[in-house]
Amino acid sequence: MSLDDDMALLARQPLLSLMERDALRLLAFAAESRTLRAGDVLFRAGEASDGAVLVVSGALALATADDGRPANEIVGPGALVGELALFTSVPRQATAIAREPTQVMRLPRSVMRRVLGESPASAEAIAAAIGDRLRGFVGELSTVQKALSALDEG
């Protein structure tokens, strides 16, 4: 794939689409391409994360347990797995296994930090979007808390 193709894939991600074009170009240039065979494990639940993975082609099965149970979710081209790991160190929430030949683009957190350090406008736009998401989550939690309180009183 060309650099422009990689940039187009990245720009389809809501958070990454907020980045300035030059910042997105740097991220695409530094991204690491990896090819997986069917059955290859990309990462396991509980492992330390060092960035996110964008599915370019193929499919990944995401399972929260390694006990042979069916996957909780199947993600395909365009899916960004581990978005939070672009910004902070968090354990992997699921095991990712290629269901078929799969091409992924690995986006290391260290690269994202460097790119955002060189592009303050991109960093500010992403920080604002994350803030909006957090406010939305707080609102949803408040609604759930009220519903649970009503059940307890009921």
Higher-confidence residue: 66 or 6?
A: 6
The predicted pLDDT at position 30 comes to: 95
Mean local confidence (pLDDT), 57-83: 86
Higher-confidence residue: 145 or 100?
A: 100
- Which 8-state DSSP code applies to residue 19? S
H/E element, 32: strand 32-36
DSSP sequence for 121-150: HHHHHHHHHHHHHHHHHHHHHHHHHHHHHH
The predicted pLDDT at position 69 comes to: 63
The total number of structural domains in the chain stands at 1
- Domain CATH for 123: 2.60.120.10
Residue 11's contacts (CB-CB under 8 Å, 6 or more residues apart) are: 17, 24
Cα 153 to chain centroid distance, Å, stands at 39
How does pLDDT run across 7-64, given as a tens digit for each residue? 999 999 999 999 999 999 999 999 999 999 999 999 999 999 999 999 999 999 998 8
- Average of per-residue pLDDT values in the chain: 92
The predicted pLDDT at position 150 comes to: 83
Query: Which residue range is the domain that position 59 belongs to?
Result: 3-153
Higher-confidence residue: 125 or 68?
A: 125
Give percent of the chain above pLDDT 90: 77
